[in-house]
Structure 1
Amino acid sequence: MLKKLLPKTKSKKKKEAASSAIPTLDRLHETLEMLEKKERFLQKKCSAEIEKAKDYTKSKNKNAAIQCLKKKKLYETQIEQLSNFQLRVHDQIIMLESAKATTDTVDALRSGSSAVKSIQQSLNIDDIENAIDEANEQTENMRQIQEALATPVGASADFDEDELEAELEDLEEEDLEEELPEPPARIPAPVEPLAKAASSSRQGSDLSELTKLQAEMAL
């Protein structure tokens, strides 16, 4: 029973420590800002005492000038202490921020691991296999439906595929013949020599008839 209670108590303390990190960081930053302001104030005091010492030196008031320098030394001592305080606060801030980053990282990893574990527990290998089988079955059913829709019915189912292919080949041959260039036209033979020959023949025939007519008149 005690062992069961201890982990819970330890985990509770870790959560409380993690939740208190942010307020602690805020307080450290506020303290650091206060120390820096106080240091700047003392530095101004030092500068003022130096100026006073210069003025007293010009007026030949040596004792007053020495008192100003003593005050300056006291201020410088306080400034040095404040610098040490700031260094320690800086160190605490760095350590706390690093610890908080580590805690946040561990918490994130733990949450991620729990989420993955929860998802794995919700999955079952049998359920996955059944889902895959159902998907394959639906795919096969859809393929069969598509094939059934693509099958010709009615008058189109009676068409002879070979006859259609032969007709298609005839159409392709006709298109090919139409695309072939026409043979060159024959060049007609020259007509002029034939015309001259015909004219000469007619002239010879007329001359023969004229000679025959003259012979008959002489008788």
Structure 2
Amino acid sequence: MRRVFGVKKDKEPPPSIQDASDRITKRGDTVEEKIRKLDVELNRYKEQIKKTRPGPAQEAVKARAMRVLKQKRMYEGQRDMLYNQTFNLDQVAFASEGIKDAQQTMSALKSANKELKGMMKTVKINDIDNLQDEMMDLMDVSNEIQETLGRSYSVPDDIDEEDLMGELDDLEADMGTETESEGMPSYLQPDRESDLDSELNLPSAPNTAPAGRANAQAQDEFGLPAVPRSSLRN
């Protein structure tokens, strides 16, 4: 059968929009290069026409320049046609990409919608309200526990304002009595000074009263009465 009818050839896949656009752009670049070469040739003819005197030679140069100019116009028409085709392909590609983006967006939205529906089945408003109520009850119980643990022991609760004022008056009277009886503080009383001297074991102050020139006591380099050495040994 294969020998009679042959084997069916696989069809090549049609070119994509990007492939067609690249091919047309390449052709447009080729035509653009030809136009640039013709521009250079026209400039050369322009300089020759300026340098040539009017006559047959100048007319010949003008004829060649006219032929090049016609060729340039033809290439420019082809270039514009190719650019228009490229522009149309770019518009189609943009529309195709937009549709693909829309399809992906719809697929993502459908997936998200399905996921949200599944999550909503597990979350109920009544459950949230009950949970909030339980949390409030637990907080109230916690506050009661803290107040109970912070309660003071053996503190009378039957004290009123009159008892408070009476206690304050008694304290004020007691403080006034102590002040009148003591008068001067104990550390400023005269007897306390001798007690401090005996505790520190300090020598008694020498008598500095003059008793004649012979009995005058020796003085140190600062003009103060000298302390006897026997006192320093003690």
| TM-score between both structures, scaled by the size of structure 1 | 0.53
- Structure 1 residues 144 and 68: alpha-carbon distance in aligned structure 2, compared to 1, 3 A threshold: same
The match for 1:111 is 108
- Structure 1 residues 167 and 89: alpha-carbon distance in aligned structure 2, compared to 1, 3 A threshold: farther
Structure 1: gaps (5+ residues):
1-19, 172-219
Superposition CA RMSD, Å: 3.6
The match for 2:46 is 54
> Size of the alignment, in residue pairs?
148
By how many angstroms is 1:41 displaced? 1.7
| TM-score between both structures, scaled by the size of structure 2 | 0.50
Percent identity, aligned pairs only, is: 13
The 5 Å alignment of 1:23-172 reads 24-25=17-18, 27=19, 30-31=22-23, 33-57=25-49, 58-59=51-52, 60-124=57-121, 127-151=124-148, 152-155=150-153, 158-160=155-157, 163=160, 167=164
Structure 2: gaps (5+ residues):
1-13, 169-234
Q: Distance in 1 between matches of 2:133 and 2:123?
A: 15
By how many angstroms is 1:115 displaced? 0.9
Q: Is the 8 A contact 1:56 1:64 kept in 2?
A: yes
- Structure 1 residues 56 and 144: alpha-carbon distance in aligned structure 2, compared to 1, 3 A threshold: same
Instruction: Detail structure 1 runs of 4+ shifted over 4 Å in the superposition.
Output: 125-128
Which structure ranks higher in relative contact order (CA pairs < 8 Å, sequence separation ≥ 6)?
Answer: 1
Q: Deviations over 1:94-145 (max 9, x none)?
A: 2221231232023213312321222212332675533442342133112211
Instruction: Looking at secondary structure, tell me which structure has more helix per residue.
Output: 1
